[in-house]
A = this chain, B = another copy of it.
Amino acid sequence: MPEIVRAALVQSRWTGDKQSMVEANVAFARQAAAEGAKVACFQEIFSGPYFCQVQDPTHFDLAEPVPDGPTVELMRDLARELAMVLVVPVFEEEQAGVYYNCAFVVDADGTYLGKYRKTHIPQVHGFFEKYYFRPGNLGYPVFQTAVGPIGVYICYDRHFPEGWRALGLAGARIVFNPSATSRSLSQYLWRLEQPAAAVANEYFVGAINRVGVEPLGDDDFYGGSYFVDPRGKLVGEAAPDDVSAVVVRDLDMDLLVEVRQTWAFYRDRNPAAYAPLVQP
């Protein structure tokens, strides 16, 4: 009996305010559940605009505590109602002046399982993230969910093979990569990096991008969300580059086993030879 995980990605145009953005994404989650998805991940900082296009302290008001904030409460209720695991990227406030680019995970019964904080923080035109976020300090947690072990690696993180690997070593079978990335800067890499990470670490990756141009800047988010399998091949088509979309795909965990028994990268790693990677 094959083990299939039906999984969903949500890319969602900015609706103009937080309340309507949350409502839009809740509706997309319901749509995913209606299509049989058992896990869904939203885009980076899903309920806000991508405010890192500017450096403006008013945007700190968008942050909220995790797990003691309203979005966690709302998503716990939604997960329980839909019997669906949810991966929810938000702007986290630990205390005034201490903020993270975060994603939390809620199990299909509504249990809050924990959070990941984005480790690698960009600072380039249109992506002024070092202004807002401390680098993550929670390592690379893998969450034991109703659909098995999953991990999260947020946007710019994807350029760093180290964290992908740490997630694989910790047992992730699906890694979600919620992103906000712009046409001119990165589109030629969008089908290269995550498939390569899926191959090197022999797991599924769900890549999610925001979509459209938002009022705060000229970043042109190109959607194109997709799942890629441990062979590095897309699972079905990618989402369009210009509209909101829910991508629902069946991920075959037997393929993951087959790939790992064909290749044997975890057997053949040589940690004693990797000391340069942890030099300060």
A contact set with B: CB distance below 8 Å:
119-124, 135-136, 139-140, 156, 159-166, 169-170, 188-189, 192-193, 195-197, 199-200, 231-233, 262-265, 268-280
Contacts and interface: CB of A to CB of B under 8 A. Distances in A.
> What 6 A-B pairs come out closest when comparing CB atoms?
A196-B196, A161-B161, A166-B276, A162-B274, A120-B268, A271-B278
Contacts of A232: 188-189, 192
A103 B169 CA distance: 30
B192 A122 contact: no
Contacts of A263: 124, 159
Contacts of A119: 270, 273
A179 to B, nearest CB: 15
A152 to B, nearest CB: 14
Contacts of A188: 231-233
B278 A274 contact: yes
B271 A124 contact: no
Given A188-B231, A192-B199, A271-B280, 8 more contacts: A122-B264, A135-B270, A139-B276, A156-B268, A159-B265, A160-B270, A169-B279, A188-B233
A277 B278 contact: yes
